[in-house]
Amino acid sequence: MSLFDSHCHLEMGEFDADREAVLERAFAAGVRRIVTVGTTLEDAGRAVAIAERHPGVYAAVGVHPHEVRAIGAGTYDALKKLAASPKVVAYGEIGLDFFRNRSPREVQLARFREQLEIAADLDLPVIIHDREAHDETLAILSGRPGRRGGVFHCFSGDRKMAERCMELGFHLSIPGAVTFPKAESLRDVVRDLPLSRLLVETDAPYLSPVPNRGKRNEPAFVVHTAAKVAEIRGIPPAEVAEATTRNAMDVFGICGEEGKEA
């Protein structure tokens, strides 16, 4: 099987000691493509540098809602410069997080709108972080008709929300949480929605799937998420791997082994 981990954070410090070994294990597990996603300007720079050094690894740049309180006068210009790399395939992760509120809500809302405009100017798909802010996230995204869609990372809504996301041109990325015993609502979404709109991800180093809960997550573990999606849908894991890889390549504008579509 050939798998695509559509969302992880290889640039984070949790991987500093063994990043190359993590990538080797991913490749051995059949993970051929990875998007490593910046959450701050500094991490975005590291993500781009990692992607530029490794075939099959791509990057997304942006400022996570937890961190938007720190956006300064030069932040957006610096992100735009990073986005010029041919290995940058998305803008994100951006959005709203009203669960932890590490940045004030009004700041999150303003910066989300600003970053959506930057993504549109760059003609990049967006990677959306949405936690306990479904209505507000959808309201903002509904106000930008005709813009490129992207991915709802770690999708946590119900089927009705999933249908609305798809209407807005978004794909839904399924994390390792789908393997958790209490994640029945997520499994319902996976069971009912078109396979053509699903991606799989690790969100490494977070959200390790069963049977690796309690360990640091890493891209190799996306095989467990794909296997669970296959089990839920009653289809072979290879079919899930093929479809979610194709979907991710379409969303991120990736063609062939290393090219990025013009």
pLDDT, one tens digit per residue, over 59-72 is: 999 999 999 999 99
Token couple for 89:
């395939």
- DSSP, res 100: T
pLDDT at 144: 83
Mean pLDDT, residues 91-115: 96
CA–CA separation, 179 and 38 (whole Å): 25
pLDDT at 70: 95
CA–CA separation, 53 and 44 (whole Å): 14
Contact 136, 157 (CB under 8 A): no
pLDDT at 259: 43
Mean pLDDT, residues 223-247: 98
pLDDT at 257: 55
Does pLDDT of 121 surpass 60? yes
Whether a cis peptide bond, with omega within 30° of 0, leads into 93 is: yes
- Report CA dihedral (194, 4, 147, 258) to the nearest 10 degrees: -140
Domain count, the chain: 1
pTM, 2 dp: 0.95
Residue 256's pLDDT band (cuts 50, 70, 90): low
**Residue from 216, 159, 202, 219 nearest 184 by CA:** 159
Mean pLDDT, residues 147-158: 94
Query: CATH number of the domain that 138 lies in?
Result: 3.20.20.140
The sign of the CA dihedral 198, 126, 7, 132 is: negative
- 34-52 b/e with 16+ CB inside 10 Å = b? bbbbbbbbebbbbbbebbe
Domain extent at residue 34: 3-260
pLDDT, one tens digit per residue, over 188-223 is: 999 999 999 999 999 999 999 999 999 999 999 999
| Interior angle at CA 124, CA 89 and CA 34, nearest 5 | 20
